[in-house]
Amino acid sequence: MRSPCSYPARTAVVKWMPASTREAPFSRAASEKLQKSQEKVSKLAEKLRNDARDAAILKAATDAGFIDPTDALTDDIRRAVEVDQDDEDPSDIEVDTTSATAAVKKLATSKKHLIGKPNNGAPSGGRFSSRDRTDDNAGDNLGELYPSLQ
């Protein structure tokens, strides 16, 4: 058997170091990187889940005749919608559309002002300062109205 002195210095130190000390810096860095990537994956999976749920709510609100479908994106409705996401494949999401439709209908019956056509076809306002205008050339007589402009 050869003595540790016959090996080069680095080999002798590495060989006689305990295995936990030799591998600790590498495994610590790898475990930190793994933990960060798992956190990113879980955040992305949660966002994907929320987006799928919100899309189902918006579709149900549009079908129910909401003026602004985003009015249906309340926390109560979001909690009422059942969403199932696969742990192995976070992109596999099943949203229960019947619970989304039921929650949106419940909101529609309790807040009927959210339902209808936008503006019901009527204009939202009249012409601005129409009492002084008689024709399209109303700006021609500004010199008469304001002598300082001449």
Number of structural domains (the chain) is 1
What does the pLDDT read at residue 146? Answer: 81
Classify residue 149: in a domain, yes or no: no
pLDDT at position 77: 92
**Residue 63 covered by a domain:** yes
| Confidence (pLDDT) at 26 | 62
pLDDT at 116: 81
Distance CA 119, CA 137 (A): 31
Closest CA to 64 of 27, 31, 97: 97
pLDDT on residue 29: 83
Range of the structural domain that residue 106 is part of = 40-112
Mean pLDDT by 10 residues, the chain (150 residues): 55 56 68 90 92 94 91 92 89 92 93 76 58 57 77
Residue 12 lies in a domain: no
pLDDT in the model for residue 109? 92
List the Cα angle 55/48/42 in 5-degree steps.
155
Q: Position 76: which residue type? A: D
Q: How many CB atoms lie within 10 A of CB 81?
A: 22
Please report whether residue 117 resides in a domain: no
The pLDDT of residue 115 is 87
The answer to whether residue 104 is domain-embedded is yes
Write the burial class of residue 66 (CB in 10 Å: 0-12 exposed, 13-18 middle, 19+ buried): buried
Q: In angstroms, rounded to a whole number, what is the distance separating the alpha carbons of residues 85 and 45? A: 9
Q: Taking a C-beta distance cutoff of 8 angstroms, is the pair 71, 90 a contact?
A: no
Q: For position 128, what pLDDT does the model report?
A: 62
92 part of a folded domain: yes
Distance CA 65, CA 62 (A): 5
Inside any domain, residue 51: yes
Query: Is residue 126 a part of any domain in this protein?
Result: no
